[in-house]
């Protein structure tokens, strides 16, 4: 069960001007007091911040994410729970990409893509069609909204049937020439650039991942900003007995000749395109990742930035007296206004 902390406003504090001794003035008569009071402008009550409306566009994924042990709705449920716990977002989920169109996207601030378009990891993915492609491109490029490329949708291969403009929006691409492959490990350390952007400000410089994965060979375009990298450790390949039948070709059978081997690989980055913004994040495969506080902050802030261009979410303090804060740790006040009225 997902618990939320309800915060209420319990007091209203008022302040009056203070005059020091050096500023003391003779007591005014009654008339001047009335004039002085009339000149005081009452500050308007603060308005509620509008909730950011997020659409999770889920769909066909590989058996890595849809099998007898987990449902393809797993990611949608986790993402919804985390984002709404901040108090900053209202989330809706759609599982039919064909329903996406220009009119349908009205009112949303960002779309999270959680789709591969294939059943098997080694198969080419199917695109979503020109009408949906155009709606998503216009949503970002022309209308100034946001798009989030999450986990398995974070990169696209050349034969996926997705338009190349998605790469321009994403600010990055992958290809066999750049050494595209899945790193042969489930445990790795994300190196966070804590000075890169307000999204990473205050985060720990390292995030430990277990039971997750990422792709090697992403090439980030000029102008995009990398937020987190993972070093492609050659020891992973030695322990996995590369080369083997499940891997990409290895030049002359020598793993030291693999493109990008031993180099930092971008796994989270942001990019501005047209009037809009894109946030890409590779890690996010399983529940263990979603227990990592700094991952949750990186994820939520990245979505917030893509949706609004701003970063306002704090890093929750869950130490000391706050150590019993329930997951997912934000438990933000549900006091934002939404176009849905809730």
Tell me what the pLDDT averaged over the chain comes to. 84
Closest C-alpha among 114, 115, 160, 105 to residue 137: 105
Is 90 part of any domain?
A: yes
193 pLDDT higher than 50: yes
Is 250 part of any domain?
A: yes
Is 220 part of any domain?
A: yes
Residue 125: band (very low, low, confident or very high) from pLDDT cuts 50, 70, 90: confident
CA distance 277 to 132: 18
Instruction: Convert 214-244 to b/e letters by CB count within 10 Å (16 or more is b).
Output: bbbbbbbeeebbbbbbbebbeebbeeeebbe
Q: Using one digit for the tens of pLDDT, what is the confidence trace for 271-304?
A: 999 999 999 999 999 999 999 999 999 999 999 9
- Structural domain harbouring 275: 52-322
111 pLDDT higher than 50: yes
pTM: 0.83
Among 14-18, 121-125, 265-269, which range has the highest average pLDDT?
A: 265-269
Structural element, H or E, at residue 141: helix 130-141
Is 19 part of any domain?
A: no
Residue 43: band (very low, low, confident or very high) from pLDDT cuts 50, 70, 90: low
172 pLDDT higher than 90: yes
Residue 215 sits in a domain of what CATH number?
Answer: 3.40.50.880
Radius of gyration of the chain (CA): 25
Number of structural domains in the chain: 1
CA distance 303 to 89: 9
Residue 3: band (very low, low, confident or very high) from pLDDT cuts 50, 70, 90: very low
Give SS3 for 117: coil
What is residue 209's predicted lDDT score, i.e. its pLDDT? 98
Q: How far is CA 216 from the centre of its chain?
A: 20
Q: Look up residue 19 and give its two tokens.
A: 């005059």
What is residue 72's predicted lDDT score, i.e. its pLDDT? 74
Mean pLDDT lowest among 48-57, 133-142, 223-232 = 48-57
What is residue 60's predicted lDDT score, i.e. its pLDDT? 78
Mean pLDDT of 250-255: 90
Is 4 part of any domain?
A: no
């Amino acid at each position: 069960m997902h618990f939320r902390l309800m915060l209420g406003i319990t007091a209203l504090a008022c302040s009056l001007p203070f005059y020091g001794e050096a500023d003391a003035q003779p007591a005014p008569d009654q008339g001047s007091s009335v004039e002085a009071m009339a000149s005081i402008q009452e500050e308007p009550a603060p308005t509620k911040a509008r909730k950011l409306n997020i659409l999770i566009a889920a769909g066909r994924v590989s058996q890595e994410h849809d099998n007898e042990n987990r449902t393809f709705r797993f990611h949608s449920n986790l993402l919804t729970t985390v984002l709404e716990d901040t108090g900053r977002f209202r989330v809706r989920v759609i599982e039919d990409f064909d329903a996406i169109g220009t009119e349908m996207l009205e009112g949303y601030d960002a779309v999270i893509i959680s789709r591969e378009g294939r059943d098997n990891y080694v198969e080419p993915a199917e695109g979503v069609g020109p009408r949906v492609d155009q709606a998503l491109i216009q949503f970002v490029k022309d209308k100034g909204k946001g798009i989030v490329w999450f986990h398995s949708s974070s990169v696209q291969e050349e034969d996926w049937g997705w338009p190349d403009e998605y790469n321009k929006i994403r600010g990055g691409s992958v290809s066999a020439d750049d050494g595209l492959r899945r790193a042969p490990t489930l445990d790795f350390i994300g190196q966070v650039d804590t000075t890169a952007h307000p999204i990473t400000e205050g985060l720990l410089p390292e995030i430990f991942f277990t039971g997750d994965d990422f792709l090697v060979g992403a090439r980030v375009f000029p102008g995009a900003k990398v937020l987190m990298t993972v070093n492609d450790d050659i020891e992973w390949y030695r322990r996995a007995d590369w080369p083997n039948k499940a891997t990409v070709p290895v030049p002359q059978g020598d793993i030291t000749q693999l493109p990008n081997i031993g180099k930092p690989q971008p796994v989270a980055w942001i990019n501005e395109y047209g009037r809009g913004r894109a946030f890409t994040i590779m890690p996010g495969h399983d529940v263990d990742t979603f227990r990592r506080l700094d991952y949750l902050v990186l994820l939520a802030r990245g979505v917030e930035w893509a949706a609004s261009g701003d970063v306002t979410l704090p890093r929750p303090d869950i130490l000391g007296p706050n150590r019993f804060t329930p997951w997912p740790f934000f438990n933000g006040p549900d006091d934002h206004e939404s176009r849905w009225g809730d």
